[in-house]
Amino acid sequence: MSVYIPPNSVGVFNRGFLVKKAAQTPPNSGSSSTLYTVAGGAVLITGLYGRVSTVINGTTGAIALGTAPTVGTANTTGIATAGVIGGAEVGTYVAVGVASSGLAGALVVGSSKQAGASLFLGQPAFTAFTGTITITTSVATMTGAIDWYLTYVPVDTGSTVS
């Protein structure tokens, strides 16, 4: 007996559920804004990356990805330490890479001219708990926008990311 798996289900078996956030403008310096909300318990994040959809201004602006759990302490670089994205053109990819410390990832900034897949193959998986996933910037005003993509697998029954 054969089993039919719908084509759109293959990604769920491979990387988990996909949640896309379109056109997120980075917040002003020193402040964090919510990128994703984790509800109902823990999730295993199997991929987190962005693609610049509107040119990012300047040359020195950096962003970091963090967590703000509902129980515990917020950590603005808990997922990825800051990476410079100032001046990034449309199509530039950013992804969570492996840091040498093993505690938090490093934000890897690619190029609009390279294959995005090479940035994501070595992405670490990590756990996020009920609360939010945040983005923090390093300059007073950052313009531009990034489309964000997150894939996850629920760890606790009923846990979701939005």
Residue 27 lies in a domain: yes
Residue 10 lies in a domain: no
**How many domains does the chain fold into?**
1
Residue 47 lies in a domain: yes
Which tops the pLDDT comparison, 63 or 28?
Answer: 63
Residue 139 lies in a domain: yes
Residue 150 lies in a domain: yes
Average pLDDT, the chain: 82
CATH of the domain at 108: 2.60.120
Which tops the pLDDT comparison, 101 or 86?
Answer: 86
Q: What single-letter DSSP state applies at residue 41? A: S
> Residue 37 CB: number of other CB atoms within 10 A?
14
For residue 137 the two structure tokens come to 């910037």
For residue 98 the two structure tokens come to 């492996």
Residue 73 lies in a domain: yes
